[in-house]
Chains A and B, each alone.
Chain A
Amino acid sequence: MWDYTEKVRDHFLNPRNVGVVENANGVGEVGSLSCGDALKLTIRVSDNDIIEDAKFQTFGCASAIASSSALTEMVKGLDLNEAAKITNDDIAEFLGGLPKEKIHCSVMGRDGLERAIADFRGEVVKETQGNVVCECFGVTDLEIERAVKEDNLTTIDEIIHHLKAGGGCGKCHDDIEAIIHRVRGEATMEIIKPVRMSNMQKIKLIESTLEREIKPALQKDRGDIELVDVVGNKVYVRLQGSCATCSKSQITLKNHVEAKLRELVTQELIVEEVK
């Protein structure tokens, strides 16, 4: 059984604001029957941009219903610009947290709100206009990109928990992986490299680059790498697992490990293997 908070239980068993707002001037619809959950959010916005009323209709599990109910409580009375700032984390937090497999319920709430506001303003939500990557759940590349950036996601599982994308047949996993890589690649380029690093800073940056950029790729092929020492600009590493017995390990070391460390730490680095 899921470990739902009392607040989730309360909003599920006693949902607030179920139904359709009369004279609504903003409607947001997300999800579908085949996806297993769906939300229709209706709002009425006053002349001075205040959300006067909000109601929901939701098909879905307890956390989907609770997230929708929470959302309506959160936005009622809010200025439109303030409401637009509500994130899925805010919804989850309002409920005292959600199981990680259920984060997508809070994302559905956020998306419903975003679409209702866009509908009121006569706009279209940009993310829905992308190319569909996950056919099972109809999730676009732009939605995945956004989740990777805003929620700082790094793995397929996290994407599945947030967006459901990739949670069906699994055929799109390579495409999702590519998006994560592309977006994260861009993000890592933004790591601020101190102009003059102390030895301590340099070692820390080497360590974190190994952890984040290099190890996961090697571990995918059942290999691994361990940092042994840093002397000046020489980085001594030990290859482990299948890397240790791989005929191409020297190529990996120079073309991948050294190149990445030079890119993200400093151009002067030389990587050497310790057996």
Chain B
Amino acid sequence: MRTIYLDNNATTRIADEVLEEMIPALTNLYGNPSSMHHKGAEAGAPLALARERVASLLGALPEEILFTSCGTESDSTAIHAALIANPDKKHIITTMVEHPAVKTYCEDLEKKGYRVTYVPVDRKGRIDLNTLYANLSKDTAIVSVMWANNESGTIFPVEEIAKKVKAAGAVFHTDAVQAVGKVDINLADSAIDMLSLSGHKLHAPKGVGALYIRKGTRFAPFLMGGHQEMGRRAGTENHSSIIALGRACTLAAEKMDEENTRVKDLRDRLEKSLLESIPNSFVNGDLENRLPNTCSISFEYVEGESILLMMNEFGICASSGSACTSGSLEPSHVLRAMGIPFTAAHGTIRFSLSIDNTDEDIDTVIECLPGIIHTLRQMSPFWAEAMAAQGK
């Protein structure tokens, strides 16, 4: 069975070019970059190149890039650093739709005496800027707002927010894990102080991430015990993965146009066709400001896990915001914050595409999914009720 992989917001395939650059680092370049001999120097050089490549994609300076183990570590490091560097400030502002990496950390900080404001979003997943700005105060240490939401794909106006936050004297951090490689980013021209990214979302391996820290931003390390990363993150570097991340960033720069044209067209075709062929379905998110690869679509009166497992029978991989897939019992916090009605929240599927996807992939989904939804609706007691109510 052919695999149709449409879950790229969860993780991506390692690109061939990326893997190719990784191999020497896993074989010949085994020296410790910190060592004072030729094996060390040989390992250090590609590391420096990787830093330049990541910086270049972001419009940053190499010394503003800190390599970490993942997006989550980048997020934790950023928030932790802002709080340690501003010990008198006890207030954090974030949104109700952040990734758990930020959300759960903030919830934990609440238990430790910090005050956290979770800014709500509207039905399209757009952040309530008035509430955000109204809550900015002298006590605000950091504002953390994701660049783009992983479930709805909605893009937030982070550059605009960053300016207001800076004026208020707080640090601005953005979790850009989903945005990097899909959205034009130029940090040289922005007021963003810190930015998190993750390798495996852009065709590099799992287990590597980066944190951009604007030059001059007060910082305190999260991991201590070594001089690596200029004393900002102790621990021997995940050498081969960092090299891979560097290559993935140049690849992302090369493919950004394709993401926003060919991939976006595939997504739009998928969406349009599904909406036409499946009644009682709708797309979630801010259609005007949305990642080009993400499609969050709700099917009323059916449940997401069932849809996913039936699609899996055709080789289609996607994900769902429904409760049952995660082992939790309620729909995702993002769908709830957006106020997606319960008739549909449990039946919400996220397709996330990448440059690997083809027309044929989309054709298969368009062919299979209407039948799957029909089968499940025939089984659903609510579908019969809803149809009876509509006199159908």
Q: Which residues of A contact B (CB under 8 A)?
A: 12-13, 15, 18, 20, 29, 33-34, 36-40, 57-62, 64-65, 101, 136-137, 160, 164, 167-168
Contacts and interface: CB of A to CB of B under 8 A. Distances in A.
B313 A33 contact: no
Interface string B321-345: 0111101111100000000001100
B382 interface: yes
A62 B304 CA distance: 9
Contacts of A65: 306, 379
Nearest to A136: B330
A18 B381 CA distance: 10
B309 A57 contact: no
Nearest to B304: A61
B85 to A, nearest CB: 31
Contacts, number: 71
B327 A33 contact: no
Given A33-B342, A34-B342, A58 B381 contact: yes
Contacts of A61: 303-306, 322, 324-325
Contacts of A18: 378-379
A28 B347 CA distance: 24
Contacts of B305: 61-62
**Main secondary structure on chain B at its contact with chain A?**
helix
Nearest to B309: A62
A13 B310 contact: yes
A59 B302 contact: yes
Nearest first, the 5 A-B pairs at minimum CB distance are A167-B329, A61-B324, A61-B305, A57-B381, A40-B381
A59 B303 CA distance: 6
Contacts of B323: 36
**Main secondary structure on chain A at its contact with chain B?**
mixed
B330 A167 contact: yes
Given A33-B346, A62-B305, A167-B328, 14 more contacts: A12-B309, A13-B313, A15-B379, A33-B342, A33-B382, A36-B303, A37-B324, A57-B379, A57-B384, A59-B379, A61-B304, A61-B306, A137-B329, A167-B329
A20 to B, nearest CB: 8
B359 to A, nearest CB: 27
Nearest to B346: A36
A59 B381 contact: yes
A241 B384 CA distance: 58
The residue among A18, A29, A38, A60 with the most chain B CB atoms within 10 A of its own CB is A60
The residue among A61, A160, A164 with the most chain B CB atoms within 10 A of its own CB is A61
30 contacts: A12-B306, A12-B309, A13-B310, A15-B379, A18-B378, A20-B384, A29-B381, A33-B301, A33-B382, A34-B342, A36-B323, A36-B329, A37-B303, A37-B324, A38-B382, A40-B381, A57-B379, A57-B381, A58-B380, A59-B303, A59-B380, A59-B382, A60-B306, A61-B322, A61-B325, A64-B303, A136-B329, A137-B329, A167-B328, A167-B329
Interface in B268-317: 301-306, 309-310, 313
B324 A33 contact: no
Contacts of B343: 33
A231 B327 CA distance: 48
Contacts of B378: 18
B379 A58 contact: yes
Contact of B329 (A13, A15, A62, A160): A160
B379 to A, nearest CB: 5
Nearest to B378: A18
The residue among B327, B331, B343 with the most chain A CB atoms within 10 A of its own CB is B327
Interface string B155-192: 00000000000000000000000000000000000000
Nearest to B328: A167
Given A13-B313, A62-B305, A36 B330 contact: yes
A58 B343 CA distance: 14
Contacts of B342: 33-34
Contacts of B380: 57-59
A18 B376 CA distance: 10
B310 A164 contact: no
A36 B322 contact: yes
A36 B329 CA distance: 8
Contacts of B306: 12, 60-62, 65
A124 to B, nearest CB: 20
Contacts of A59: 301-303, 379-382
Contacts of A29: 381
A143 to B, nearest CB: 15
Contacts of A38: 381-382
